Structure 1
Amino acid sequence: MIIIHAVNNLHTTLNRHLTPLIRQALNTFPVVVVTGARQTGKSTLIRELLTPPTREYLTLDDLDVLERAHKEPDALLTVNKRMTIDEIQRSPDLLLAVKRAVDRDRRPGRFLLSGSANLALMRSVSETLAGRAVYLTLYPFTMAERAERAMAGRWQALVDNPSQFEGTHPRFERLEETLLQSGFPPAALSPNPATRRIWLDGYVRTYLERDLQALSTIDHLVDFRRLMRMAALRSAALVNQSDLARDAGLTQPTAHRYLNLLETSYLLYRLPAYAVNRTKRLIKTPRLFFCDTGLAAHLAGIDSVADLKKSGLVGPLLETLVVSDLLAWREGLGARPDILYWRLASGAEVDVVIEQAGTVIPIEVKATSRPRVGDIAHLRLFLNDYGKAAPHGLLLHTGERAERLADRIWAIPLSVALGLDG
């Protein structure tokens, strides 16, 4: 526990790509809500946005403040100051008080709230701030943020014109080590793998014993922990709740409830299917993604490169890394594109589809440094099916060369896509 405490209190901070959008939102909306999984850096970020004495800071992790929020929520809100309130999901009563305060005074930037639960999925509070707030999600560090660049990947440039990157770029080195690392700031900034493992173990324990219990009563934490492991082993796979429940030794309704709780606390994401096709039968079941490759690997019992290479999870975890980066990129945009996947009933599948302003860009992710023409069969199928709506497709790989593999299909190094090429 001493090591975990030390890691959590590292003074090193990195700039976040979401900061400019939060500042912009505070100048426009009366309530800005920054949500995301526990330990993604929300508290650090919103503290950096404080400009005393114009903002007052409260955290509901302080039990005295939490008690006041339950007993006298309206009195807790300072009338003449803008307020920053951390871990707001712990007090639905205080959210109602915020609603009442905003209805009286809708000045921009009145409240900056943060929470470790998806308020839109919490029935008790989902309607409280409707029409009054803008919601932003802070994900774990992107690969570019880990490299001290306040950005997500170069996805917009790849959507617009991948040919601009033609040429040689740095390789995506140490693939397995990268997948075992975590984007949670305390783990990402920790000095060695052993410390990261201890931190991740403490993270899971704290989530089960504290954060989860604040969302719902769970009588059998061992069962929930087993479900987490089964889900981690399935990151990037189609959601099959029957199989998941069976392998975890749970009833299907219980497995369904547990998955929803993981999604509410931002540890899981369900990637929807792109289901626009008039002539072919499409699979519409979502795919399951963990929020962080390091956490997924740890839950799956994989803590070494040797274990990862034997596990068969290098490909799925690489897809998880890419999807996580895409979600972070999308969050920083005003007009957010849809991040989807595509699969035919025949089994043909494209890992990711970006749908933006009537354009669809299919993306395949390959854990190879030498992409081949045989790797692009499903991209070709997608491009043929969607014609002008799909101007080009992308094959992401770990090698050096950005080049055209075929008509309308570009091989792009992951170092470019993830913003690591300088």
Structure 2
Amino acid sequence: MGGEVESTHDFRSGYVRRVVDDLLDELLPSLPAILLDGPKAVGKTATALQRAETVWRLSRPAQASVVNADPQVALDGPAPVLLDEYQRVPSVFDAVRDAVDEDAEPGRFLLTGSAPPPGSHSGAGRITTVRMRPLTLPERGVSAPSVSLSSLFEGTFDAPVAGASVLGLKDYADLILRSGFPGLQHLPARALQIQLDGYVERIVDRDMSEGGHNVRRPATLMAWLRAYAAAASTTTNWDKIRDATSGGSASKPARSTTLPYIDTLTRLRILDEVPPWIPSRNHLKRLTQAPKHHLVDPALAARLVGATRASLLRGAGQAFTPEDGTYLGQLFESLATMSVRVFAEVVPASVSHLRLDSGRREVDLIVERDLDRAVVAFEVKLAGDIGYEDVKHLLWLREELGEQLVDAVVLTTGPAAYRRPDGIAVVPLGLLGP
């Protein structure tokens, strides 16, 4: 990978607290059942084990067979009861839901899972879902945040932001390639690459079928994943991604082949797309309905396209159109997006993107607070120095939204956080926290 960024955390020596822990500490005493939802290897089980009194590991055939025969057996132990990989025994979800209907005492159940079974019932009103994603930079122990997303919602365009970052462009490239999966943090470069390759191979060979879709041509799915990875942080349409699967030749896969890929990979939480913003309070028109493409971890995208530290730093690897910029820029935006989504879970707030159908105006991330629909907007720039061209869409959005936009930020690779004279905050990604 090249140079290494020093981390203050050792994930092998014990549990390292995550951003989601504060949220769980708040919710568990008040809610009867919580589902930790996220991709494999993101740390769901380790986090849930910090709270569980009774543990059922349903990935183990012996325990799964017992629970499959009588789900009630798994519900009667001391609370909280952890049902790890609950989707392995689909009936357990309904059993928990029924149990909560009968007794909604807080702190009864914790569930973890990577893919709800196709056609499974919603747990709305009984089972609260909390999303887990890979490690943010503060969680990895490589940076100390000085700017809080929650505080941005409480400030104004003249509120001070400050802090100095030790991370530079090369460090961010290393951190992208390092991955945010906790179990991979200690690995040297070659071992890390092998593990990431194995993660992707497992998706193709095993996880897709466990998620409900039988892959007839693994090579086609792998080619589609590579094309999707090349489109990271863009709104490239699905047909272009499908064309890129076979280099635009007549042998491209049919839509009926790729649509199940999208559905199953989304349920596996491997695709982590940012939806378009649909505002409810203003007169914005002609907004695109296309999602912005992201894999759950930018390191997976980098491995799929064969990106290296050297290729990223020399600006190689554009996606589908020149205006998408360098591939390092795309992956940096993907890393920033993942981080903002983790922090937004605490607010709580939803994350989307804004793009007029002409592409004339766009804002990378719209974070809208659930409580009152207040908005903090983010642009992500692979740069240290920020000029008018970098903030012009944020200034435009402030005119459009008025008081609904409570702050606007450019996330950068630069050395310091500060407030521009026009009110836009400039914040190195390493300094942003929950």
| TM-score (normalised: structure 1) | 0.87
Q: Counterpart of 1:310 in 2: which secondary structure?
A: coil
For the pair 1:45 / 2:47, whether they are aligned, the reply is yes
The answer for the alignment partner of 1:303 in structure 2 is: 308
Question: Contact 1:158/1:417 (CA < 8 Å) preserved in 2?
Answer: no
Q: Using the alignment, how far apart are the partners of 1:24 and 1:403 within structure 2?
A: 32
Structure 1 gaps of 5+ residues are 1-8
What is residue 253 of structure 2 aligned with on the other side? 250
Q: In the superposition, relative to structure 1, how do residues 402 and 116 fare at CA in structure 2: closer, same or farther (>3 Å)?
A: same
Deviation at 1:168, TM superposition (A): 5.5
Q: 1:172 to 1:81 in 2, by over 3 A?
A: closer
Worse-superposed segment, 295-304 or 385-394: 385-394
Determine whether 1:316 maps to 2:330.
yes
2:387 corresponds, among 368, 372, 386, to 372
Instruction: Tell whether 2:358 aligns with 1:346.
Output: yes
Deviation readout 1:126-167 (Å, 9 max, x if unpaired):
32x332111111111111100178989721223333655445
- Report the counterpart of residue 125 of structure 1 in structure 2: 120
Aligned to 1:16: 18
Aligned to 1:206: 202
SS at match of 1:65: helix
What is the root-mean-square deviation in Å for CA atoms of aligned residues? Answer: 2.6
Q: What secondary structure does 1:331 align onto?
A: helix
SS in 2 for 1:271: coil
Q: Which residue of 1 aligns with 2:92?
A: 94
Match of 1:4 in 2: none
- What secondary structure, in the 3-state scheme, does the structure 2 residue paired with 1:297 have? helix
Distance 2:242 2:144 in 1: 40
Report if the CA contact (8 A) 2:35-2:130 is conserved: yes
- Report the equivalent of 2:128: 134
Question: Could you tell me how far apart the structure 2 residues matched to 1:149 and 1:373 are?
Answer: 28
Q: Does the aligned pair in 2 maintain the 1:394–1:409 contact within 8 Å?
A: yes
How many equivalent pairs are there? Answer: 401
Worse-matched range after superposition: 209-218 or 275-284: 275-284
**Per the alignment, do residues 295 and 362 of structure 1 end up closer, same or farther by CA in structure 2, a change over 3 Å counting?**
same
Using the alignment, how far apart are the partners of 2:56 and 2:205 within structure 1? Answer: 23
Unaligned runs of 5+ in 2: 1-10, 246-251, 318-325
What SS class does the counterpart of residue 293 from structure 2 fall into?
strand
Give the residue type in structure 1 aligned to 2:106.
P
Q: Is the 8 A contact 1:35 1:116 kept in 2?
A: yes
Aligned mates of 1:416, 1:298 — CA distance in 2:
26
Distance in structure 1 (CA, Å) of the matches to 2:84 and 2:304 = 28
1:351-370 deviations in Å (ceiling 9; x for gaps): 11122223223211111111
| Letter matched to residue 205 of structure 1 | E
Give 2:139's match in structure 1, choosing from 134, 138, 145: 145
| CA shift for structure 1 position 258 | 0.6
Shift of 1:391: 3.9
Instruction: Find the residue that maps to 2:364 and give its secondary structure.
Output: strand
The yes-or-no answer on 1:232 pairing with 2:234 is: no
Counterparts of 1:351 and 1:245, CA distance in 2: 24
What's the CA shift string for 1:53-112, capped at 9, x where partnerless? xx2211111011122233332344336654211000111112222233333333222211
Q: Are 1:332 and 2:332 an aligned pair?
A: no
Q: 1:93 to 1:366 in 2, by over 3 A?
A: same
* Rounded Cα–Cα distance in structure 2 between residues aligned with 1:172 and 1:418: 15
Work out which of the residue numbers 158, 165, 171 in structure 1 matches 2:152.
Answer: 158
2:174 maps to: 177
1:163-203: CA deviation from partner (whole Å, max 9, x where unpaired): 5544551243222112212000112x223222211111121
Q: SS state of the match for residue 268, structure 1?
A: coil
Distance 1:319 1:368 in 2: 12
**Aligned partner of residue 124 in structure 1, secondary structure:** coil
In the alignment, structure 1 residue 269 sits paired with structure 2 residue 272: yes
Once residues 388 and 183 of structure 2 are traced to their aligned partners in structure 1, the CA distance between those partners, rounded to angstroms, is 41
Paired residue secondary structure (2:167)? coil
| Superposition deviation, residue 123 in structure 1 | 4.0
- Counterpart of 2:219 in 1: which secondary structure? helix
1:103 aligns with 101
Residue pair 1:142, 1:152 contacting (<8 A) in 2 also? no
Q: Secondary structure at the match of 2:125?
A: coil
Q: 1:151 to 1:78 in 2, by over 3 A?
A: farther
Give the whole-Å Cα distance in 2 for the aligned partners of 1:305 and 1:201.
19
Given that residues 358 and 389 in structure 1 are in contact (C-alpha distance below 8 angstroms), is that contact kept between their aligned partners in structure 2? Answer: yes
User: 2:291 pairs with 286, 291, 306, which one?
Assistant: 286
TM value normalised by structure 2 = 0.85
d(CA) in 2 for partners of 1:152, 1:324: 18
Kindly state the Cα deviation for residue 20 of structure 1 after the two structures are TM-superposed.
2.7
Moved more, 141-150 or 24-33: 141-150
Equivalent-residue separation in structure 2 for 1:165 and 1:49 (angstroms): 38
CA distance in 2, matches of 1:124, 1:112: 21
Indicate conservation of the 8 Å contact 1:270/1:286, yes or no.
yes
Which residues of 2 match residues 31-42 of structure 1 at below 5 A?
A: 31-42=33-44
2:323 is matched with none
Shift of 1:281: 2.1
- The whole-number CA distance in structure 1 between the counterparts of 2:165 and 2:142 is 17
How far does residue 382 in structure 1 lie from its aligned partner after superposition? 1.6
Q: Provide the residue aligned with 2:399 in structure 1.
A: 384
